[in-house]
Amino acid sequence: MTLSELRKELKMSQSALAEALDVSKRTIENWEYGSSKLTLDVAQIQILSHLLKKIGKSFDDLETEPMNRNRKPLDYAVSS
């Protein structure tokens, strides 16, 4: 499942997801299109985990969505 698919399944706009994760809409766009690495702090990981649990998913189910359409496992970093 890509971040975009997660967001759509939750019926959230990019703006709503950005607000929930306390990032800009542009950051969500960049993550969804694979033009920047998903970097999350601990609070954002907890929020994203909660959203994934709402639809019976976990971080293991999440993938990136790079522009070349070659899906690969989620590559994310935890910031402090």
Q: In the chain, pLDDT over 90 holds for what percent of residues?
A: 52
In a domain, 80, yes or no: no
In a domain, 78, yes or no: no
Joined tokens for residue 33: 């299109």
Q: What is the DSSP letter of 77?
A: E
Given a cut of 90, whether residue 8 has pLDDT beyond it is: yes
What's the rounded Cα separation, in Å, for the pair 21 and 69? 25
Residues in the chain, overall count: 80
| Lowest mean pLDDT, pick from 20-24, 48-52, 66-70 | 66-70
The answer to whether 14 and 27 have CB atoms below 8 angstroms apart is: no
Query: pLDDT tens across 39-63, in order?
Result: 888 999 899 999 999 999 988 888 7
By residue range, what is the domain housing residue 29?
A: 3-68
pLDDT for 61: 84
What's the rounded Cα separation, in Å, for the pair 47 and 70? 27
Given a cut of 90, whether residue 80 has pLDDT beyond it is: no
In a domain, 74, yes or no: no
What's the rounded Cα separation, in Å, for the pair 63 and 80? 22
Can you tell me the mean pLDDT for 53-80?
64
